[in-house]
Amino acid sequence: MKLHGIKVPHKKNTAECPPVRIALPPEVSIPMSMHIGKPAKAVVQKGDEVRVGQLIGEADGFVSSNIHSSVSGKIKAVEERIGSNGAKIVNVVITADGKQTVSDEVVKPEVKDFESFVAAVKKSGVVGLGGAGFPSFVKLSVKDLSKIEAVVINAAECEPYITSDTRTMLDRGDSVFKGIEALRKYLKVKRFIIGIESNKPKSAAFMKELAAKSDGVEVKVLPSIYPQGGEKVLIFNTMGRIVPKGALPIDVGAIVINVTTLAFIADYLETGMPLVEKCITVDGSAVKEPKNVIAPIGTPIEFLLEAAGGCKSEPAKVLYGGPMMGIAVPSLSEPVLKNTNAIIAMDEKEAKPPKTTACIGCGQCTNHCPFRLDPRAIARAYKLNDNGSLEKLCVDLCMECGCCSYVCPANRPLVQTNKLAKARLRGYLIAKKAEAAKEGAK
């Protein structure tokens, strides 16, 4: 069986650019929801003094994440703001004092066994740093460790422009392998597979050099086919396993972890400094000097663009993440989030959407879909409000990679329709389940 995908321009303009630390912003705005799951609960209030690494948002549920201050200073406000996704999110706004005084809470964790290791990962506030934002401790909370056959380290970085993971491998390779040793020790894993796309030869060579000194670590150089970094795609291309619908990677013996997430965990175990800053690629057709930068979480996007020399022209669209799966931001005052791995600023020519025409029934969308879904049929079912067909068409399997829209000669917004269809199907299935429960109670 062959998983499908597409060839996209690499545009890895910043691969040779080690990250530079930007000037401290005068103010940061830190949302209490920068992860998949329930928002954290703010544990500070207006007027409080805070320090770097201090807990300001406590995980409020199993699938949630701790949030820490990225600067030292004073709480200016704890207020609701509209996030880039249109939802109201509580933000902790901090006026920085410029001192970057480290909190007394920042201490090296005591890790002795699997339970204390997972607890440390939870305390650190780390989430999937490749863009997904899933709380890492949840992924590592495996009930039966014997089920883990391999840890797949996602170093594919298949989106155009983004090179922050590339810099992790080149600049922090030792941390990556210290993370591997931590997982080996506490999760009792013997096999590790680092999946890297072939367009990163230096990263692959360096990882192979380090892997030669570590037992049970293999580096698989994979074809540069987007979306190679998709979790299920990567598992198939590294382990030859298919994750069935409704199943998790652990059900086929795998755990997938982003390479930068893994490096962070290793650093946290040595320093106790939680997730308070990010390496971010700043690029795009509107950017004067594309580069990788290190910025405190909560830094306004405009400061990142200034650090990259500003814009050559007025950006027509600015994205969190890459051009395939990135989210457009409504304002340059939007903050750097935990899972922000890139800021892409596009000029008018690059951002202008093409004219949409009628579907010609060519089937290219299905031919290139990694999961062989049928976006044409999904679009018809969505238009007809046919929820039963949406369920049969398995639209909930769509990972919104954008391959269908990219190859469509009619330039139809197929991935956007899939996303809307998924939301409608979720509502339908919830109502269907509630109705079944109601009937069963009679």
Predicted pLDDT at 84: 78
The span from the CA of 231 to the CA of 255, in Å, is 9
pLDDT value, residue 3:
56
Residue 2, pLDDT score: 55
**pLDDT one-digit tens code per residue, 218-269:** 999 999 999 999 999 999 999 999 999 989 999 999 999 999 999 999 999 9
Mean pLDDT of 400-423: 96
Given this model, what pLDDT does residue 180 score? 98
CA–CA dist 303, 282 (Å, integer): 11
The pLDDT of 409-425, averaged and rounded, is 96
Q: Which pLDDT score is estimated for 436? A: 82
Q: Are 286 and 9 in contact (CB under 8 A)?
A: no
In this prediction, residue 1 has a pLDDT band, given cuts at 50, 70 and 90, of very low
Residues ≥6 apart with Cβ < 8 Å to 437: none
Residue 387 per-residue DSSP state: H
255, HSE (Cβ side, Cα atoms, 13 Å): 31
The tens digit of pLDDT for each residue in 160-212 reads: 999 999 999 999 999 999 999 999 999 999 999 999 999 999 999 999 999 99
**Two tokens at 217?**
């670590």
Which pLDDT belongs to residue 7? 93
Burial of 107 (0-12, 13-18, 19+ CB in 10 A): exposed
pLDDT tier at 38, thresholds 50, 70, 90 = very high
- Helix (H), strand (E) at residue 222: strand 217-222
**CA-to-CA distance for 111 and 116, rounded, in angstroms?**
5
What would the pLDDT profile of 80-129 be if each residue is shown by its tens digit? 998 877 889 999 999 999 999 999 999 999 999 999 999 999 999 999 99
The pair of three-digit structure tokens given for residue 81, joined into one six-digit string? 């703001």
Q: Taking Cα atoms as reference points, which of 245, 280, 258 lies closest to residue 398?
A: 245
pLDDT at res. 207:
98
